[in-house]
Amino acid sequence: MPNSKKEIVTYGVPAVAIALLGLPLYVYLPTFYAQDLGLGVFIVGVVLFFARIFDMLIDPFIGYVSDAYMSRKVMMFLGSILLYGTFYALTHPQEESGIFYLLFLSLGVYSAWSLVSIPYFAFASDISSSYDENTHFSSSREIFNIFGVLLALSLPYYFGVAEQAGASLLVLWDALSFILPMALLIFFFTLKEPKREPKKTTFAEVFGYFKLEILNSKRVFIAFFLNNFANALPATLFLFYVSLVIKSEELSGLLLLLYFGSGVLTLPLWVYLSNKISKKTAWLVSMGSASFFFSFVLFLGEGDIVYFAIITIFSGMSLGADIALPASIQADIAQKATQKYGEISGILFSFFAMLTKLSLAFGVGVSFSILGLFDFSPQTPNPTSLLVLSLLYGLLPVILKLSAIFVLRKYQEKL
């Protein structure tokens, strides 16, 4: 039975809170612990990399429990409680907080995020009834996700702390502590969770089905990882790049608003295009467009704020497609797999979450580690480290996106 517009819209509401958490974790948090707390970019990069890897490894078990033993809503509720405690501690460290504090709290907040997001993503596959509805649900989620990102960017900018990573984290904690419970209440009391058959298969059997789907759709998974890795690099390095290369730190909040704002405004265009030429083709076009415009970043330097703003707007136009269309393709894959093997959508979405986390881990781990090897210091950067920063920010993402295009173009999309 087709879902109403109200259900489609309501489904997207929790994405606001998830975005409020996501942005500080991969934009503000690394800079705060590396610079403000003095742990250094190399140490922070290594710690967050291993925290992401550990968190990634437990995702399939979370997905399996979500499919087999626990209501999606109950798991989201439990995850939100853990999220509160760990995110508060992570954003309110003591002066003596060091490497192990960052490691254990990062493990906690990432795991809590998984307990909320994996069943939430799988919920769309449970209630969607068609190929087109998958796009509507994923688009609703990503529209609210982008709205949450814009809110996460606007609040520090509004309070005049956008260039201060630590102060921005505190503002976002205050916002999350109010918005998360409100979003979950709306979600829990508006959408009815479909009844699912109890799991009759073991984890080993489910994992076997899961591996078959990985082989069948490997090009999507590889492209998804490469594209997310490409997006994670500039997200991680953005504050450093704007303050040290463009030297317009005071405009960092506004630039991020331009990027995500252009993504929101063009999302309906990408959804329309995907209905006309297929989701895969529209995604390929968006990655190609982003690669073209972002390649001009390499030619920028101090004072080129207008050119950087133009590139930000045009590359941001691909953002809506970049996140909504892969998510919709993933929902298609999960639905078809569930029809063949039984309920395995949770474990499949846990794998998508794994790939996202792995790409984010590589984003902060690779970029901070390489910068550390070249003696990068935000306070006194040397010319060589600034060149490396520019290459990591502007060149490597383009190479990764072009690689994703090469891999995805041979994927056979099954409608």
Please give the helix or strand (H or E) that residue 38 lies within, else none.
none
306 in a domain, yes or no?
yes
Nearest 5°: the CA angle 142, 358, 147 is 20
Four-residue CA torsion sign, 160, 165, 169, 172: positive
Alpha carbons 312 and 394: distance in angstroms, whole number: 12
Contacts (Cβ under 8 Å, ≥6 apart) of 257: 150, 153, 154, 157
Q: How far apart are the first and last CA of the chain?
A: 19
Tokens standing for residue 165: 């990573």
Alpha carbons 145 and 137: distance in angstroms, whole number: 12
Whose CA is closest to 289, among 265, 313, 309, 308?
313
pLDDT of residue 197: 63
| CATH number, domain containing residue 80 | 1.20.1250.20
Mean pLDDT by 10 residues, the chain (415 residues): 71 87 77 81 82 80 79 90 90 80 89 88 74 72 80 81 81 90 90 69 63 72 89 85 87 81 83 85 92 91 92 88 78 69 64 75 82 82 89 92 92 66
128 in a domain, yes or no?
yes
Q: What DSSP letter does each residue of 68-128 carry, written as one string?
A: HTS-HHHHHHHHHHHHHHHHHHHHS--TT--HHHHHHHHHHHHHHHHHHHHHHHHHHHHH-
413 in a domain, yes or no?
no
Please give the helix or strand (H or E) that residue 221 lies within, else none.
helix 218-241
415 in a domain, yes or no?
no
Q: What DSSP letter does each residue of 295-357 carry, written as one string?
A: GGGGG--TT-HHHHHHHHHHHHTTHHHHHHHHHHHHHHHHHHHHHHHSS-HHHHHHHHHHHHH
Tokens standing for residue 320: 């809506």
414 in a domain, yes or no?
no
| Residue count (the chain) | 415
Alpha carbons 315 and 256: distance in angstroms, whole number: 12
Domain that holds residue 342: 5-408
58 in a domain, yes or no?
yes
Tokens standing for residue 205: 């059997």
| pTM to 2 decimal places | 0.71
Whose CA is closest to 338, among 139, 192, 129?
129
Residue 367, Cβ density class (10 Å: 0-12 exposed, 13-18 middle, ≥19 buried):
buried
286 in a domain, yes or no?
yes
pLDDT of residue 1: 41
Whose CA is closest to 15, among 172, 134, 149, 132?
149
Counted domains in the chain: 1
Q: What is the Rg, in whole angstroms, of the alpha carbon atoms belonging to the chain?
A: 20
pLDDT of residue 204: 66
Whose CA is closest to 363, among 388, 396, 386, 328?
396
Tokens standing for residue 147: 């709205």
198 in a domain, yes or no?
yes
